[in-house]
């Protein structure tokens, strides 16, 4: 974000102004006005102009967004209309045209390339395309308080794709395209009340809402007063309460349903789409698709019939066509498999490895015999846990390693089925101590590699045997280490094959940023493991992590073990919370399983510690039910900044992480 917060960085390094000027106007007479209003918009401060070939007004406009049906010739035609050398952003509807689009970028005809009206699966297909050269920088979709696209937004943020909102003011309500029974967004009483409070208009509130949630927003107006008004979006700020109230308006109202219709066509047909000669984007009358017994297109056929579209079947005859379809079907399926396994139990890390979304926490206080770690870890693997979390600090890696090896030996799992995390303790943060520390863990575990090695806590302590070195007054003895140097040593451990992935724990967003901005960074952290539960839901840190494709791993997700030396006993018990209990009752589950499920549904990988067989088994039920959006919202509402593990021993060290807001 630039200092005025007026531009956001795209994943290819270019910048996009967060407020754009929309130019589509349906009235025929308006074509000549396009020149006037666009000049005016630039005069009053707009620096991002959105247009498309189909709006048929490019001769008048300087243009950033385009949607023609043929790639390079179409872009060249647009450039000719515009009399410009290049556009800043060229976006397209067609999932198959990505390579052609990449070539346009390479040829300098567009600075950036993106997509529009893509759902997350279509985006995923592009992101997972073998040989992908450039990720889409944006996905432009209808987005406003009545259709806030929060899931798509989360998805886009987690892939560093900017969501660009159109229809942000409730669309132009053109009767051919929009169901006029839908309510008028700008007459919404909640928006109006918030606008009144800020002495602004509902339109400005609707635009500001998008910018504050990290969305680039387009505002179309052909009225000079309103064009000028819209630029005031930078003059005020909505409070978190305003934002929450606007979030609450979401009700799945899509004004531009014709786009749903187009999108449906595109996503259902993997192959050629033939449009009639006088194509406009909104009237398709012939659709040519692959259609045969392996791909009978019955749903698409019903859809076409009901919309008076002729379906032209191709690939009906000939074994080759059928074989291709089968392969296509299977490869499409395997793409899905790669990103999420069938039960949705693993997510992809930014280095390409996968992490199971539910992990087994193995820490127990010193009075618990270490032999129990062996027993419970074996049991956890038997009942289905495939992600085990431990650390040098927990002094149980010998037993946990033994448990994993015994479950491999008896054939329950293979090594590659188990995801094991270890952690670099604070006394080994000096770069030269990193690899020996990991080798010591591997030796205790009797494993060849760990799946994930993370910096346990950013506060460095004096190297040596003592895990908590103290001076004669009982004060911790700190060490001074540049965490970027520690990180470089971790990168070397990954290169040496001692760990598959590397990450951090208990880092605030500034500390993460320092690593992300380190000159010569070789690998980004794949995760940040932090305390996270409904009373400390870490939503800001989570947003930050998602926007950098870093997985947030939650510890203390059940309210922590409340170990008396570390945790203030006066803090409320999470699992006794009445809201959690009511939701649990409704789903015939326990508050613990609800607290775990909450994390998984918001894209957080969650750890659950239990040394009790009944509860270990219970925790795996997290995959057996689903929380509703209302449940999720109610649990979000429990957030109250209660941190059980304050790790106060680090207070006084410059890297103590928890004085930052997030
Ligand atoms: N990176 C870090 O700095 C850090 C810090 C703390 C923890 N961790 C990791 O995160 C893991 C989990 O965090 P945590 O140890 O704080 O504990 P937690 O997962 O919040 O669990 C807290 C307590 O909940 C109980 N519990 C488990 N399942 C339950 C259920 N179904 N119903 C009711 N109660 C249940 C457990 O007691 P029982 O054993 O009696 O079932 C456990 O002691 C740790 O074990 C460790 O691996 C990392």
pLDDT digits (tens, 9 = 90+) for 157-202: 999 999 999 999 998 887 766 777 788 999 999 999 999 999 999 9
Name the residue at shortest CA distance from atom 23 of ligand 1: 561
- Nearest-atom number in ligand 1 for the CA of 619 is 31
- Indicate the length of the chain as a whole number: 662
User: 307 pLDDT band (50/70/90 cuts)?
Assistant: low
368 Cα: distance to centroid of ligand 1 (angstroms): 14
Measured by CA distance, the residue closest to atom 29 of ligand 1 is 615
Percent of the chain scoring above 70 in pLDDT: 80
The radius of gyration computed from the CA coordinates of the chain, to the nearest angstrom, equals: 27
Q: What are phi and psi of 489, to 5 degrees?
A: -65, -35
Could you give the CA distance from residue 316 to residue 292 in angstroms, rounded to a whole number?
5
Ligand 1, closest atom to CA 618? 31
Q: How far is the CA of 560 from the centre of ligand 1 (A)?
A: 5
Greater model confidence, 596 or 22: 596
Pocket test for ligand 1, best of 608, 618, 621, 646 (most atoms within 8 A of CB): 608
Average pLDDT over residues 218-222: 86
Residues having CB closer than 6 A to ligand 1 are 361-363, 389, 456, 505-506, 529, 555-561, 575, 590, 592, 607-612, 615, 618-619, 645
- Which residue's CA is the nearest one to ligand 1's atom 32? 592
| DSSP letter string, 293-326 | TTB--HHHHHHHHHTT-EEEEES-SSHHHHHHHH
**Tens digit of pLDDT for each residue in 202-213?**
999 999 999 999
Ligand 1 mutation target, pool 375, 383, 528, 558, most atoms within 8 A of CB: 558
The pLDDT tens digits for 313-350 are: 655 553 343 334 334 333 322 222 233 344 448 999 99
The residue-averaged pLDDT of 500-515 equals: 98
Q: Which atom of ligand 1 is nearest to the CA of 644?
A: 16
Residue 530 tokens read as 């932090």
Give the closest residue (by CA) to ligand 1 atom 37.
610
Q: Which of 53, 394, 555, 611 is catalytic?
A: 394
Q: If you measure from the C-alpha of residue 452 to the centroid of ligand 1, how many angstroms do you get, rounded to a whole number? A: 19
Q: Whose CA is nearest to atom 11 of ligand 1?
A: 361
pLDDT in tens, 287-301: 656 666 666 677 677
Residues contacting residue 24 through CB under 8 Å, at least 6 positions apart: 51, 52, 55, 172, 220
Q: Which atom from ligand 1 is nearest to the alpha carbon of 390? A: 47
Between the ranges 42-46, 554-558, 658-662, where is the mean pLDDT highest? 554-558
**What is the whole-number distance in angstroms between the Cα of residue 567 and the centre of ligand 1?**
13
pLDDT digits 0-9 by tens, 132-158:
888 889 988 899 999 999 999 999 999
**Distance (Å) from CA 615 to ligand 1 centroid:** 11
Cα 513 to ligand 1 centre (Å): 28
Q: Per-residue pLDDT tens for 19-54?
A: 888 877 655 556 678 778 877 888 888 877 877 655
Ligand 1 pocket test, pick from 555, 595, 604, 613 with the greatest ligand atom count within 8 Å of Cβ, gives 555
Ligand 1 centroid, distance to 610 Cα (angstroms): 6
Of all protein residues, the one whose alpha carbon is nearest to atom 26 of ligand 1 is 610
Q: Which atom of ligand 1 is nearest to the CA of 610?
A: 39
Ligand 1, atom nearest to 362 Cα: 45
Pocket test for ligand 1, best of 535, 556, 567 (most atoms within 8 A of CB): 556
pTM of the predicted protein model: 0.56
Pocket test for ligand 1, best of 609, 617, 648, 658 (most atoms within 8 A of CB): 609
CA 262 to chain centre: 25
State yes or no: is 394 an active-site residue.
yes
Which residue reads 């009053």 in tokens? Answer: 44
Q: What is the dihedral sign for C-alpha 60, 66, 70, 73? A: positive
Q: What are phi and psi of 114, to 5 degrees?
A: -155, -170
- Atom of ligand 1 lying closest to residue 389 CA: 47
Sign of CA dihedral 266, 268, 272, 276: negative
Q: What is residue 650's DSSP assignment?
A: G
Ligand 1 centre from 558 Cα, in Å? 6
- In the reported structure, the alpha carbon of residue 556 is separated from the centroid of ligand 1 by a whole-number distance in angstroms of 5
The H or E element spanning position 287 is strand 286-290
Instruction: Calculate ∠ Cα 303-305-307, nearest 5°.
Output: 70
Q: Which atom of ligand 1 is nearest to the CA of 647?
A: 3
CA 617–ligand 1 middle distance (angstroms):
14
């Amino acid at each position: 974000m630039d200092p005025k917060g007026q531009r956001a960085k795209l994943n290819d390094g270019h910048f996009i102004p967060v407020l754009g000027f929309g130019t589509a106007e349906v009235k025929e007479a308006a074509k000549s006005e396009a020149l006037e209003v666009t000049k005016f918009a630039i005069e009053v401060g707009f620096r991002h102009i959105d247009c498309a070939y189909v709006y048929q007004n490019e001769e008048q406009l300087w243009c950033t967004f385009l949607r023609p049906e043929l790639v390079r010739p179409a872009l060249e035609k647009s450039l000719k209309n515009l009399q410009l050398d290049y556009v800043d952003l060229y976006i397209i509807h067609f999932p198959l045209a990505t390579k052609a689009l990449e070539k346009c970028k390479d040829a300098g005809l567009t600075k950036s390339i993106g997509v529009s009206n893509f759902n997350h699966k279509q985006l995923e297909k592009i992101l997972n395309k073998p040989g992908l050269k450039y990720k889409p920088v944006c996905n432009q979709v209808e987005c406003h308080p009545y259709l806030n696209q929060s899931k798509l937004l989360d998805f886009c943020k987690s892939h560093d794709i900017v969501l660009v909102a159109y229809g942000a003011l409730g669309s132009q309500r053109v009767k051919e395209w929009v169901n006029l029974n839908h309510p008028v967004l700008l007459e919404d009483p909640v928006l109006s009340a918030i606008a009144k409070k800020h002495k602004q208009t509902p339109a400005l509130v609707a635009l500001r809402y998008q910018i504050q949630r990290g969305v680039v927003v387009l505002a179309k107006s052909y009225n000079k007063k309103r064009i000028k008004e819209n630029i005031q979006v930078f003059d005020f700020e909505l409070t978190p309460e305003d934002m929450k109230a606007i979030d609450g308006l979401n009700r799945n109202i899509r004004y531009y349903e014709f786009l749903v219709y187009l999108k449906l066509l595109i996503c259902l047909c993997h192959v050629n789409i033939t449009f009639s000669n006088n194509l406009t984007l909104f009237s398709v009358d012939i659709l040519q698709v692959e259609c045969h017994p392996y791909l009978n297109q019955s749903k698409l056929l019903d859809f076409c019939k009901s919309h008076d579209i002729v379906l032209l079947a191709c690939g009906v005859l000939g074994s080759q066509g059928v074989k291709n379809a089968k392969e296509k079907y299977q490869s499409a399926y395997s793409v899905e498999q790669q990103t999420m396994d069938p039960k949705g139990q693993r997510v992809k890390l930014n280095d390409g490895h996968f992490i199971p979304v539910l992990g087994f926490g193995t820490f127990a206080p010193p009075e618990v015999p270490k032999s129990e770690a062996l027993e419970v870890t074996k049991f956890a693997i038997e009942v289905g846990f495939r992600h085990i979390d431990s650390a040098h600090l927990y002094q149980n890696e010998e037993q946990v390693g033994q448990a994993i090896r015994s479950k491999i030996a008896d054939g329950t799992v293979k090594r590659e089925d188990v995801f094991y995390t270890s952690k670099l303790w604070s006394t080994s943060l000096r770069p030269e101590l990193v690899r020996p520390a990991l080798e010591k863990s591997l030796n205790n575990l009797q494993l060849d590699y760990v799946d994930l090695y993370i910096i346990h806590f950013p506060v460095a302590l004096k190297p040596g045997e003592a895990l908590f070195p103290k001076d004669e007054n009982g004060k911790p003895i700190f060490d001074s280490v540049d965490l970027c140097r520690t990180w470089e040593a971790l990168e070397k451990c990954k290169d040496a094959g001692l760990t598959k992935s590397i990450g951090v724990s208990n880092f605030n967003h500034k500390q993460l940023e320092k690593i992300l901005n380190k000159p010569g960074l070789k690998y980004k952290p794949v995760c940040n493991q932090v305390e996270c539960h409904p009373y400390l839901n870490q939503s800001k840190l989570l947003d930050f992590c998602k926007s950098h494709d870093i997985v947030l791993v939650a510890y203390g997700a059940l309210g922590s073990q409340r170990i008396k030396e570390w945790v203030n006993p006066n803090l409320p018990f999470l699992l006794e919370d009445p809201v959690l209990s009511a939701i649990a009752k409704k789903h015939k589950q326990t508050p613990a399983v609800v607290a775990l499920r909450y994390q998984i549904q918001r894209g957080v990988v969650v750890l659950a510690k239990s040394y009790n067989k009944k509860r270990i088994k219970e925790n795996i039920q997290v995959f057996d039910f689903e929380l509703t959006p209302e449940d999720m919202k109610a649990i979000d509402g429990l957030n109250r900044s209660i941190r059980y593990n304050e790790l106060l021993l680090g207070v006084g060290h410059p890297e103590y992480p928890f004085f930052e807001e997030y």
